Structure formats: structure tokens, C-alpha cells
Amino acid sequence: MFHLELRQFPHNHCQFNLSDEELRAIAEPWAGGQWVELGQRKWSPHQAKLKIIEGPPIPMQQLSMGRGWRHVQRHGEDVTGRVLDAASASLASAQAAPVGPRSGAGAGAAASNAPHDSNASPPELSSLLGGSPRAEALLAVWRYTAVRFPDRTPSECLALAERQLDSPLEEPGRARPLDR
């Protein structure tokens, strides 16, 4: 069983007794730099801290009065690095999968009819953006914006993502909403 804690001052959120699949659904977007929605909040891997502990299942009676996380820390092992490394490797192998022919008649039509995967980024896009942390953050926010606003064009989503990254924080630790 896995247990996780998300922290971004002044907020924190714990989830207990997660299966491998439930944890993977959180860890892979997190490792890809995408926002994760848990506990009625959206958490950014660029701002919040994630801790994952593997340990025995916690019965409901031990979760009362805020005692659950202390129990997990005493009886479990911190596996955050291992889980996020595995999630990053999974994302990298998914992105390295062959996309198909890039030349010849019909290549453009095949690409435009292919389903859009918001987690995948062609190697050309990554190399054009460079490897800077800002470029990686822009790519992550751009992906999130494209998923959140599917009716908008990629250029509109990019403009929203740039505005999100360039905007001053209105509250400590909280970025301006994308839909302004």
C-alpha cells in the first residue's frame, strides 16, 4: 500500500491506502510536470512538495484526529524518489515510441487525424523549447491549458500558458487562474 502527502504552505493533503494503479495515476502526471487535482485543490509540481510512503494499510480508526500521517511515517518507507523515477521512465518510454512516417503523401493527414495525447511531446518540440526549467514549465502549463480548454487553438493555449507563467502571484504560492 502507498500513502501520499502533498504540501504547499499553508495547505496539505494526505491520501492513504492507495494501490499501484491509483498511485501511478497521480505520479505520472506529477513527474511530467502537470497539475494534479486532489482534495478539492490543484497542486503544481513546480510549487508543491510530494512525499510517497510505502507501508502497511492503515485502518480507518487510526486515521481519526489527524494521526494517520504520523502512523505512516513510523511504519513505512519513503519511496518518493523511486516512484517518481519510475513514472518519469514510463513517460520517457511512451514519448520515445515511434510516431510514424514523417514524409510522403498523406503524412500530414495521418498526423492530424491521430488522437491527441496531451502528455506526449514530439522530440522536435522539446528541442525547440530547449532544456531550461522555464521551457519545461511552459510545456507543462501549455499541456494543462490544452486539456482544460479543448476548444481553443494551440496558439491560444500557448498564449494563456505564457501569461500564466509571466503573471505575478496574487496570493503567496498561488498563480493566477488560466481562464482570465
Q: What's the Cα-to-Cα distance from 67 to each of 48, 54, 58, 93, rounded to whole Å?
A: 22, 17, 10, 39
pLDDT score of 111 more than 90:
no
pLDDT, mean over the chain: 74
* Residues 71, 133 within the same domain: no
Distance of CA 116 to the CA centre of its chain: 17
Can you give the pLDDT at residue 107? Answer: 38
Instruction: Say if 106 falls within a structural domain.
Output: no
Within a domain: 105: no
Quick one: 9 and 89 in the same domain?
yes
Query: Considering the domain boundaries, does residue 110 fall inside one?
Result: no
Between CA 114 and CA 20 the distance in angstroms is: 29
Tell me, yes or no, whether 136 and 69 share the same domain: no
**In-domain check, residue 99:** no
Residue 145 falls inside a structural domain: yes
26 and 84 part of one domain: yes
Cell numbers of 38, please?
486532489
Whether 7 and 79 map to the same domain: the answer is yes
Contact (Cβ atoms closer than 8 angstroms) between residue 97 and residue 121: no
- Classify residue 115: in a domain, yes or no: no
- How confident is the model at residue 2, as a pLDDT? 92
Does the structure show a pLDDT above 90 at 51? yes
Is 125 in the same domain as 89? no
Does 131 lie in the same domain as 89?
Answer: no
Instruction: Determine the pLDDT at residue 155.
Output: 82
DSSP 45: T
Q: Which of 93, 111, 131 is the last residue of a domain?
A: 93
- To the nearest whole percent, how much of the chain has pLDDT over 90? 8
Quote the number of domains for the chain: 2
Residues 135-149: pLDDT tens digits?
Answer: 777 777 778 777 777
For the chain, the C-alpha Rg in angstroms (whole number) is: 19
Same domain, 87 and 169: no
Q: What is the tens place of the pLDDT at every residue in 116-175?
A: 444 445 555 555 666 667 777 777 777 877 777 777 888 887 888 788 777 655 444 444
The domain in which residue 8 lies consists of: 2-93
What's the whole-number mean pLDDT along residues 42-46? 88
Residues 52 and 129 in one domain: no
Indicate if 28 and 77 belong to the same structural domain: yes
**Predicted pLDDT at 148:** 78
Set of cell numbers at residue 11: 495547505
Whether residue 113 is contained in a domain is answered as no
Q: 20 and 89 share a domain?
A: yes
pTM score: 0.51
169 within domain boundaries: yes
